[in-house]
Structure 1
Amino acid sequence: MTKRIALLGIYHESNTFINTPVTRINFEQARLLKGKDILHEYRDAFHEIGGMMEVLEQEAIELVPVFYATATPGGIIAAETYQSLLTEMLAALQEVLPVDGCLVVPHGAAVSEDYPDMDGHWLSLLREMVGPLIPIIGTLDPHANVSPAMIAATDALVAYKTNPHIDQRETGRAAARLLLQCLQGKIKPVQYLGMLPLAISMEQQYTMQEPCVSLYQLAKAINQRAGILSVSVILGFPYADVAEMGSAFIVVTDNAPALGEDAIGELTSYMREHKALFTGNRQSVGDLLPLVAAAEKPVLMLDMGDNVGGGSPGNSTILLEAIEEDCRYRTFICIYDPAAVAIASTFNPKDTFDLSFGGNCSRQGAAFSTRVVLQQLCDGDFKETTPRHGGQVNYDMGKIAIVTTANGNMVMLTSLRVPPFSLQQLTAFGVAPAAFDIVVAKGVNAPVAAYSSVCPTIMQVDTPGVTQANMTLFDYKHRRKPMFPFEEI
Structure 2
Amino acid sequence: MSDPRVAILGFAIESNRFAPVATRADFVDRAYLGGDQLLADARSPAPVITPEIPAFIRRLDQSGAWTPVPILFANAESGGPVDHSFFKETLALMERGLRAALPLDAVYICEHGAAITTSEDDPDGQVFEMVRSVVGAAVPIVATIDLHANVSDRMVDAVDTLISYRRNPHTDMADRGADAADILMEILQGAHITVAHVRMPVCPPPTQLLTAPGTGPYADMIQAAEALGDPRIVNISIVGGFAYGDTPKNGLTVIVSTREDVQFARQVALDLVATAWRERAAFTPELTSLEQAVALAKAAGDNPALPAVLLADVADNPGGGGRGNTPFILQAFLKANVRNATLGVVTDPELSAQAHALGVGASFTARFNRTETTVYSEAFAATATVLQLHSGSGIGRRGQLAGCSFNLGPSALLQIQGVQVVVITNRHQCHEPAFFEMFGIDIATVRTIVVKSRGHFRAAFDEFFSPEQIVNVDAPGLTSPILSRFDFKRLPRPVVPIDDLAEWVPQIRLLSK
TM-score higher than 0.5: yes
State the distance in 2 between where 1:267 and 1:97 align: 40
Secondary structure at the aligned position of 2:244 is classed as coil
What are the within-5 Å matches in structure 2 for residues 177-216 of structure 1?
A: 177-185=182-190, 187-208=191-212, 209-211=214-216, 212-216=218-222
What are the within-5 Å matches in structure 2 for residues 270-349 of structure 1?
A: 270-292=275-297, 293=299, 297-333=307-343, 334-349=345-360
State the distance in 2 between where 1:363 and 1:147 align: 30
Task: Give the match for residue 362 of structure 2.
Answer: 351
RMSD over aligned Cα atoms: 2.0
Pairing 1:119–2:140 present = no
CA 1:420–1:221: 2 relative to 1, 3 Å = same
**Offset, 1:362:** 12
CA 1:398–1:51: 2 relative to 1, 3 Å = same
**Offset, 1:86:** 1.0
State the distance in 2 between where 1:118 and 1:420 align: 27
State the distance in 1 between where 2:339 and 2:373 align: 23
State the distance in 2 between where 1:16 and 1:286 align: 29
Task: Give the match for residue 459 of structure 1.
Answer: 471
Task: Give the match for residue 443 of structure 1.
Answer: 453
Pairing 1:94–2:99 present = yes
**Offset, 1:112:** 1.0
Stretch of structure 1 that moved more, 23-32 or 262-271? 262-271
Task: Give the match for residue 145 of structure 1.
Answer: 150
Q: AA paired with 2:485?
A: L
Q: AA paired with 1:37?
A: Q
State the distance in 1 between where 2:155 and 2:348 align: 37
Pairing 1:220–2:226 present = yes
Residue by residue, what CA displacement relative to the aligned partner does 1:39-86 show, whole Å, maximum 9, x if unpaired? Answer: 332335571112101111011222221110100100000011101111
State the distance in 2 between where 1:197 and 1:121 align: 24
Q: Please tell me whether the aligned partners of residues 8 and 103 of structure 1 are also in contact (alpha carbons under 8 angstroms).
A: yes
Pairing 1:80–2:85 present = yes
Secondary structure at the aligned position of 2:379 is classed as strand
Stretch of structure 1 that moved more, 174-183 or 417-426? 417-426
Q: Please tell me whether the aligned partners of residues 338 and 419 of structure 2 are also in contact (alpha carbons under 8 angstroms).
A: no
Pairing 1:397–2:398 present = no
Stretch of structure 1 that moved more, 322-331 or 139-148? 322-331
Q: AA paired with 1:345?
A: H
Q: Please tell me whether the aligned partners of residues 299 and 437 of structure 1 are also in contact (alpha carbons under 8 angstroms).
A: yes
Q: Please tell me whether the aligned partners of residues 397 and 433 of structure 2 are also in contact (alpha carbons under 8 angstroms).
A: no
**Offset, 1:101:** 0.4
Task: Give the match for residue 31 of structure 2.
Answer: 31
State the distance in 2 between where 1:247 and 1:154 align: 19
**Offset, 1:389:** 2.4
Task: Give the match for residue 494 of structure 2.
Answer: 482
Q: AA paired with 2:424?
A: T
Q: What TM-score, normalized by structure 2, do the two folds share?
A: 0.90
Stretch of structure 1 that moved more, 157-166 or 81-90? 81-90
Which residue, out of 364, 372, 379, partners 1:367?
A: 379
Segments of 5+ residues of structure 2 without an aligned counterpart are 502-513
Stretch of structure 1 that moved more, 464-473 or 327-336? 327-336
Q: Please tell me whether the aligned partners of residues 376 and 477 of structure 2 are also in contact (alpha carbons under 8 angstroms).
A: no
Task: Give the match for residue 6 of structure 2.
Answer: 5
CA 1:263–1:189: 2 relative to 1, 3 Å = same
**Offset, 1:364:** 5.9
**Offset, 1:297:** 4.3
Secondary structure at the aligned position of 1:366 is classed as coil
CA 1:144–1:234: 2 relative to 1, 3 Å = same
Q: AA paired with 1:330?
A: N
Secondary structure at the aligned position of 1:452 is classed as helix
State the distance in 1 between where 2:428 and 2:151 align: 26
Q: What TM-score, normalized by structure 1, do the two folds share?
A: 0.95
**Offset, 1:391:** 6.5
Q: AA paired with 1:137?
A: V
Q: Please tell me whether the aligned partners of residues 395 and 402 of structure 2 are also in contact (alpha carbons under 8 angstroms).
A: no
**Offset, 1:253:** 0.9
Q: Please tell me whether the aligned partners of residues 413 and 439 of structure 2 are also in contact (alpha carbons under 8 angstroms).
A: no
CA 1:241–1:302: 2 relative to 1, 3 Å = same
Secondary structure at the aligned position of 1:158 is classed as strand
Q: Please tell me whether the aligned partners of residues 338 and 418 of structure 2 are also in contact (alpha carbons under 8 angstroms).
A: no
CA 1:326–1:363: 2 relative to 1, 3 Å = farther
Q: Please tell me whether the aligned partners of residues 297 and 438 of structure 1 are also in contact (alpha carbons under 8 angstroms).
A: no
How many pairs are equivalent?
484
Q: Please tell me whether the aligned partners of residues 168 and 391 of structure 1 are also in contact (alpha carbons under 8 angstroms).
A: no
Q: Please tell me whether the aligned partners of residues 326 and 378 of structure 2 are also in contact (alpha carbons under 8 angstroms).
A: no
CA 1:98–1:26: 2 relative to 1, 3 Å = same
Task: Give the match for residue 54 of structure 1.
Answer: 58
Task: Give the match for residue 471 of structure 1.
Answer: 483
State the distance in 1 between where 2:220 and 2:115 align: 29
Secondary structure at the aligned position of 1:395 is classed as strand
Q: AA paired with 1:210?
A: T
Task: Give the match for residue 411 of structure 1.
Answer: 421
Which residue, out of 390, 394, 415, partners 1:382?
A: 394
Task: Give the match for residue 251 of structure 2.
Answer: 246
State the distance in 1 between where 2:179 and 2:137 align: 22
CA 1:58–1:157: 2 relative to 1, 3 Å = same
State the distance in 2 between where 1:385 and 1:414 align: 18
**Offset, 1:277:** 1.4
Residue by residue, what CA displacement relative to the aligned partner does 1:291-325 show, whole Å, maximum 9, x if unpaired? Answer: 34368543211001101110100001111111111
State the distance in 2 between where 1:248 and 1:97 align: 33
**Offset, 1:290:** 2.6
Residue by residue, what CA displacement relative to the aligned partner does 1:345-389 show, whole Å, maximum 9, x if unpaired? Answer: 331211111111148999964322111111123311111154x22
Segments of 5+ residues of structure 1 without an aligned counterpart are none
Secondary structure at the aligned position of 2:418 is classed as coil
State the distance in 2 between where 1:247 and 1:364 align: 28
State the distance in 2 between where 1:231 and 1:321 align: 45
Identity %: 28
